[in-house]
Structure 1
């Protein structure tokens, strides 16, 4: 059976996924030329596992191996009484790309947002991330908003 014929399963991250999630999260941050301090990574993982937290994660599993993840969170909005769903991080192991895992992860986040009666789901990526943008452009039109960030 070829890799592309093995079913990709999307499911909530669980305690057994920590090592895989950490490995992929580190690869994700390396791609974006970012660094997240270990205490923050540990805190994020703890929040993902906390059922009371609005920070969640889905994993993509293929052949019993975690090959990707989507970290997302819910937050209040001033434009609706319903929450927004922010898809903050999405990554699929480069060796496992091309099998639809990223699209399935986004669809999984959409399902979670619908279950929470969210107002909308949104995400962003770097301009140079052409492979991701080519997928995102098939899912929804690009926003006209420009993001400004100022570290505090």
Structure 2
């Protein structure tokens, strides 16, 4: 399958079951989980109309939802324009290597451009070698190290 076989579209209410399965697998990859309340809240935010809400996209191959991404455009103190944070990106293992991740990232780039946010950024864990091979082709590694409140 080529990159052109991947269809990326906005997440829709009818995608909830597929989205839950993908997001559960994504969270499991990072050895994490969330409560049912977080599932419900996140899905509602992804479908919401509030500019502060996240946006969701899904990728399809042969009519099956095989990938997702969540992103948010937000203000930044160092520039006038918003920036775009790509928070989550996941493709089913059997869909990897078929252009799903690249198509989802490029769709976020396009959405950011439409929203007037020239910068798109994301994080991954240093051991995520498979994804980092793609990220090295579509993005630029920065020297920043993430800290968070304990």
Tell me the equivalent position of 2:42: 44
Tell me the equivalent position of 1:32: 30
- Contact kept, 8 Å, 1:84 with 1:118, in 2: the verdict is yes
Q: RMSD in angstroms over aligned alpha carbons?
A: 1.2
User: What TM-score comes out, normalization by structure 2 length?
Assistant: 0.94
Q: 1: distance between equivalents of 2:39 and 2:76?
A: 26
Q: Deviations over 1:38-86 (max 9, x none)?
A: 1111101001111224310110011111000000111111011211100
1:60-139 alignment, distance < 5 Å:
60-139=59-138
Matching of residue 15 in structure 1 with residue 35 in structure 2: no
- Contact kept, 8 Å, 1:80 with 1:119, in 2: the verdict is no
Q: 1: distance between equivalents of 2:63 and 2:13?
A: 15
* Count of aligned positions: 148
User: What TM-score comes out, normalization by structure 1 length?
Assistant: 0.93
Q: Deviations over 1:108-145 (max 9, x none)?
A: 00000000000410001001100000110011220000
Unaligned ranges ≥5, structure 2: none
- Contact kept, 8 Å, 1:68 with 1:92, in 2: the verdict is yes
